[in-house]
Amino acid sequence: MSERLTSSPKDVAHAGDLIGAGALVAFPTETVYGLGADARNGRAVAQIYQAKGRPSFNPLIVHVAHANVAREFGKWSETAQTLADAFWPGPLSLVLPLRKNTGLSELVTAGLESVAIRVPAGDLAQDLLAAFNGPIAAPSANPSGRISPTTAEHVLAGLDNKIAAVLDGGPCAVGLESTIVGLTGAPTLLRAGGVPREAIEAVLGHPLKDPEGSAISAPGQLESHYAPEARVRLNAETWAHDERTLGFGQMECDLNLSETADLIEAAANLFGHLHRLDAMGGAKIAVAPIPQTGLGAAINDRLKRAAAPR
């Protein structure tokens, strides 16, 4: 059974300790209940996908206590400052160019060179961020494909036993997901949400762009696929001499996703290992077979995309 925690200081401190220990804690924000994990802990982030049963690794929004923390992870700009001043804390996520050596798990950004960050407004979310004192990765706290939860009961209906605890703060105020604005180029509306487009445009003094070549109904999908430079060969039973090799389980290889064939560890290592193999500079990467069970489905989904002809 997942623990049900209250907003008491003792319970909030406990929730912070759980996140610090790599466990999952659902918590209310002003938008919906989030499924939180330490954004610097790859295994913890992998468990978010496992608990939700997400079939693919979409990048996650990182929740922080204050804009000053956001600046440590994302490259800041005047526009970012303007939007943060106007809408944080609140239901606006900013996609910023990722800084180097942030300590964030590469699974949080799904291997991209951008990071989505927001400062949530809910009191309990802020209390939890203060108790944990670090960045919390959190998608909505529902099984994949189900509607977003706005009460602790909704969370437990979908995720009981799959998470360590839920912090019960009553119903969420907004009930809509955060608006996502991309700031890696000209300010772009990546997803409509709790902050209306017009309000953002009024503050900026100019219109937001729409994502190129995609409908708003496919939020953020456009630029959200990391793929290595090298060609990728999947389900390799043997290695060719000119390949960089990515193993799984006991085997000889350049890098191993998990020597113990642990899919959580493999998920946590996936993007980092692909980046490192790519950086070794070969033209080809071969990947050992990964079982299609549990997180293996999401790993294989991403590997397939990486291997697709481009």
Q: Is 29 exposed, middle or buried (0-12, 13-18, 19+ CB in 10 A)?
A: buried
29 binds Mg ion (CB under 5 A): no
Among 176, 162, 141, 168, CA closest to 35? 141
39 binds ligand AMP (CB under 6 A): no
116 binds ligand AMP (CB under 6 A): yes
H or E element at residue 42: helix 42-52
Shortest distance, CB of residue 91 to ligand AMP, whole angstroms? 10
Shortest distance, CB of residue 17 to ligand AMP, whole angstroms? 24
Shortest distance, CB of residue 247 to ligand AMP, whole angstroms? 27
114 binds ligand AMP (CB under 6 A): yes
220 binds ligand AMP (CB under 6 A): yes
Residue nearest ligand AMP by beta-carbon distance: 220
How many C-alpha atoms does 127 have within 13 Å on its Cβ side?
18
Cα gap 74→246, rounded to integer Å: 29
How many C-alpha atoms does 299 have within 13 Å on its Cβ side?
33
Region near ligand AMP per CB under 6 A, out of 7-15, 79-87, 109-117, 281-289 = 109-117
219 binds ligand AMP (CB under 6 A): yes
| Region label for 106, one of left (φ > 0), alpha (ψ between -120 and 50) or beta (otherwise) | alpha
129 binds ligand AMP (CB under 6 A): no
58 binds ligand AMP (CB under 6 A): yes
The only residue of 29, 41, 109, 188 in contact with ligand AMP, by rule CB under 6 A: 109
The only residue of 48, 115, 230, 306 in contact with ligand AMP, by rule CB under 6 A: 115
Rank residues 58 and 82 by Cβ distance to ligand AMP and give the closer one: 58
Give the DSSP per-residue string, 77-134: -HHHHHHHHHH-SSSEEEEEEBPSS----TTTTTT-SEEEEE----HHHHHHHHHHTS
Q: Which sign does the torsion angle of CA 190, 196, 198, 199 carry?
A: negative
184 binds Mg ion (CB under 5 A): no
140 binds Mg ion (CB under 5 A): yes
- Which residues, other chains included, contact 129 with Cβ-Cβ below 8 Å and sequence gap of 6+? 63, 64, 65, 120, 136
31 binds Mg ion (CB under 5 A): no
The only residue of 5, 23, 48, 60 in contact with ligand AMP, by rule CB under 6 A: 60
Q: Give the footprint of ligand AMP on this chain (CB under 6 A).
A: 58-61, 95, 109, 112, 114-116, 139-140, 177, 180, 190-191, 219-220, 224
